[in-house]
Structure formats: C-alpha cells, structure tokens
Amino acid sequence: MMLGYSLTWRFTMRRNVRHSLTAGRETLSAGISIALCAASLLLDIAAVSLAADPVQKSPYGISPVRPIAVKYPNDQGIADDPEVVFADDFESWVKGGTEPNVGRWSVRKNKTSRTTVVRGQVTSNRLRGPGKGILEIACWTQGSGSQVGGLSLKLGNYNHANEGLGDGYDELYIRYYINFDEDYRAVRNHGANLGGRDLKRSSAAWVGMAGIRDVSTRGYFYSGVQPRGDSGSDELEMGFYSYHLDKKGPWGENYEVLKKIPIRMGRWYCVERRMKLNSVDYHKSDPANADGIEELWIDGKLTIRKTDVRFRRIEHLRIALFSLETYYHGLPEQYGRNHPIKVYFDNVVIAKSYIGPMS
Ligand SMILES: [Ca+2]
C-alpha cells in the first residue's frame, strides 16, 4: 500500500489561544499515524476571521467588487460614477477659495477658524495627486472656549422632512485625504461626524451633540472619525468616536483598533470609512438588531472593523449629514491667530460602495 501523509490543524475561533499544527505519516499498518513534527501557534483570530470572510478577499479588506477609484486614475471622472453620491476635489471653489462652486457644502464661519481652499496637492511616495487646490481648516484660540471650523454636507433631509433632499442612506462609504500640518500636535478634538436625525420628532438632537448616554431618547445617532494621541504628541492614530445605542457612558465609544498605523505630521494619508446602519425587527421587544457595521481604512489597509453596532430602533432614521470639520476643546496658547493649528483635506468622495485610494 502507498504511504501517505496527513496534516492536521486544530483550530478554534476563540481569540488568543494556541492552535496546533501536526504533520504525520501513515505506517504500513494502516490507520496508525506517527507525528513527524508539530507546532503550535498563537494566532490573532480577529485577523484570521477577516481573511476567512468571503467579502474580505480584496487587498483593500472589503468589497466583493472592484474599488470605484480603480476605474478613474487620479480620480478623473469619479464624480460621475453611478455609485458616487458626492465628490469634491477643491479645484472649483470661488471667491478666493472661500465658497464652494458645486455641491451642497455649508462652510463654518466664526471668529476662531478659517476654512478655505489653498494651493497644494496630495503627494506621497507613489503618488503626485491631480489639481492645485486643497482644503485648509485653520483654528486658533482667543484665550478660552472651544474652536470649530470646516464643512458640513446634507445627504438627505436633515432640518425637516420637506427639504427635498431625500430620505438619506442606510449605508455609505466616505474617502478623503488628510494631512496634519508640521506644527500640529495632539490635542483633544472631534470631527468628521456622520449621522442622522429622526425628523418625526421635533426635539431630535443634532449630529455632533455630546453628553447623551442613550441616543434613542433624543432621536439621533452619529459617529466621528478623528485623530487621537497623547497631548502634545507628534504621533496620532485615527479612530472612531461613536454615539450608538449601546455605548457605556454619556460620551462616544472609541472602537478597538485592529491594526495600528501611526499618523505623522506633514504627510498625506487616505482615510476611508464605512457606516452600515443596523437592521430593525419590529416583532422583537427591542427592534434594533446588532448588525450595524463601522469600518476604517488608512491608505487602503483595514484598521478598525466593528460589526455589531446598533444605531437605531426605527428604520426611517438614516444617514443624512456628514461634517468634514475639526472641533477643539480649547486649543493651547501656542495656536494663536497668527499661528493657527491646521489640517488639510482633498479628494473627498462619498459613495454607495467601496471607493479605495486614488489609483
Ligand atoms: Ca485638489
């Protein structure tokens, strides 16, 4: 009889336990194997389970289809893709770069911030981006209080049900490039919120409203994507700050980071997020199913994935507002009017499927 070999892998889906891999050889007396070698491995099951997920086969971490950006080198023409909801490359702003020429951005204007298009382009080792304009959000302190600058965009009816902007979305992807100024240092901040309001309730809170434990009592939800780091540090990490039904306290939840990618100053990064709202089953005592998804990619690499998020108990509460903004809880004195803290953005795309970095 032929001699055979066997390979067994004792495998469980529990995190951080040992898994044994054994190679064996059959002897002439069939049915008896001897172990030739064995090894045990400590595996990160979170990473393994992502690789095993059939929708996770692309190098981008998700999407069973081609990323939208692959079809549009340098993003040229991407705004016209049927999956794209909105796009801005900040090349057509008018009045000295202070007002958008297309789209529905609303620009923050106050005494402690400046939101304008300035000269610049996305660059990296592999990429010299198109165009000449990038968005700059500059904020400064006048001694006390908070500072906020940036843009917001309605993606559906938001102020009231008759705005004519549609019902919003149950799922969206947002991609943009971000660059923290060389003089940026870690400071408490919030921003880049994505959320919605229950327009059947006159008292529904606004996206970004903080300090509410159970968001359902105020008919809204949102989740921010923002940098964090030790105060004064020149190294940041991008993460979520989510106002969902199950967060523990009055503030937003920072999801666990699966893959740490340090963010340095003066460098462009491609930031992408996905928000999929949970399904709703009105036959259950609590209609909110734990199947909402939030994901984050940096330069095309999946860094955060949470798949049990509950944002809503009613289906008509949908994604209706995106803010590309920075909100600081009191900037240090060094960031005065003549030396503001600055963050740059470019190539914003909002779509119904995975976008991907510029190709
Ligand atoms: Ca541009």
In tens, the pLDDT along 266-322 reads 999 999 999 999 999 999 999 999 999 999 999 999 999 999 999 999 999 999 999
Stretch 8-25: mean pLDDT? 45
Provide the pLDDT for residue 103: 63
pLDDT for position 65? 65
pLDDT at 129 over 90: no
What's the rounded Cα separation, in Å, for the pair 245 and 243?
Answer: 7
**Ligand 1 geometric centre to CA of 46 (Å):** 36
- Across the chain, where does the E strand assignment appear? 5-10, 18-26, 33-42, 84-88, 105-107, 113-119, 133-139, 147-154, 171-180, 189-191, 194-197, 220-228, 235-243, 263-264, 268-276, 292-298, 301-309, 321-328, 341-351
DSSP bridge pairs for 177: 270, 346
User: Measured in Å, how far apart are the chain's first and last C-alpha atoms?
Assistant: 56
* Tokens 């994901």 -> residue: 295
**What band does 130 get if pLDDT is binned at 50, 70 and 90?**
confident
Q: What is the pLDDT of residues 201-216, one digit of tens each?
A: 999 999 999 999 999 9
Look at the domain 52-351 and name its fold. Jelly Rolls (2.60.120)
Closest CA to 348 of 241, 277, 242, 273: 273
* Residue 47: partners with Cβ closer than 8 Å, 6 or more residues away: 258
CA of 117 to the centre of ligand 1 (A): 9
Cβ proximity of 76 and 130 under 8 Å? yes
Query: pLDDT-based confidence at 40, cuts 50/70/90?
Result: very low
pLDDT of 180 over the 80 cut: yes
Given pLDDT bands bounded at 50, 70 and 90, which one contains residue 104? confident
Q: Indicate the length of the chain as a whole number.
A: 359
Residue 3 or residue 223, greater confidence: 223
Chain-wide mean pLDDT for the chain?
86
Give me ligand 1 centre to Cα 119, in Å.
Answer: 9
Region 233-262 average pLDDT? 96
CA–centroid distance, 88 to ligand 1, in Å, is 8
**In the chain, where are the structural domains located?**
5-43, 52-351
Q: Ligand 1 center to residue 250 CA distance, Å?
A: 38
Phi/psi at 186 (nearest 5 deg)? Answer: -60, 130
Spatial separation of the C-alpha atoms in residues 342 and 179, rounded to whole Å: 9
Return d(Cα 274, Cα 350) in angstroms, integer: 10
Strands 18-26 and 33-42: antiparallel
**Distance from residue 118's CA to the centre of ligand 1 (Å):** 9
Tokens of 79: 């705004």
| Gap from CA of 290 to ligand 1 centroid (Å) | 38
Q: What is the mean pLDDT of residues 328-345?
A: 96
Q: If you measure from the C-alpha of residue 176 to the centroid of ligand 1, how many angstroms do you get, rounded to a whole number?
A: 11
Q: Which range, of 64-78, 140-154, 190-204, 336-350, averages the lowest pLDDT?
A: 64-78
Q: Which of 200, 192, 165, 191 is nearest to 320 (CA)?
A: 165
CA 130 to ligand 1 center in whole angstroms: 6
Flag whether pLDDT at 173 surpasses 90.
Answer: yes
Share of the chain above pLDDT 90, in %: 78
Query: Is residue 53 within 8 Å of residue 45, measured between CB atoms?
Result: no
142-146 LR contacts (CB < 8 Å, sep 24+): 142/111, 142/112, 142/337, 143/333, 144/330, 145/112, 145/330, 146/327, 146/328, 146/329, 146/330
